[in-house]
Amino acid sequence: MNSFWNNILKFPRFLVSVIFGLVLIIISPFFVLLKKPLTSFFFITSLTGLIAILAITIKKMLNIECC
Q: Are residues 15 and 41 in the same domain?
A: no
Q: What is the DSSP letter of 36?
A: S
35-42's contacts with Cβ under 8 Å and 24+ in sequence apart are none
Of the two residues 33 and 58, the one the predictor is more confident about is 58
| Cβ contact 39:29 at 8 Å | no
Q: Are residues 23 and 46 in the same domain?
A: no
28 vs 63: CA distance, rounded Å: 36
CA end-to-end span of the chain, whole Å? Answer: 61
Q: Are residues 52 and 63 in the same domain?
A: yes
Q: Are residues 38 and 58 in the same domain?
A: yes
pLDDT digits (tens, 9 = 90+) for 18-57: 999 999 999 999 888 888 999 999 999 999 999 999 999 9
pLDDT of residue 64 exceeding 80: yes
Q: Are residues 26 and 51 in the same domain?
A: no
Q: What per-residue confidence (pLDDT) applies to 34?
A: 87
Range of the domain at 44: 34-67
Q: Are residues 44 and 16 in the same domain?
A: no
Q: Are residues 27 and 38 in the same domain?
A: no
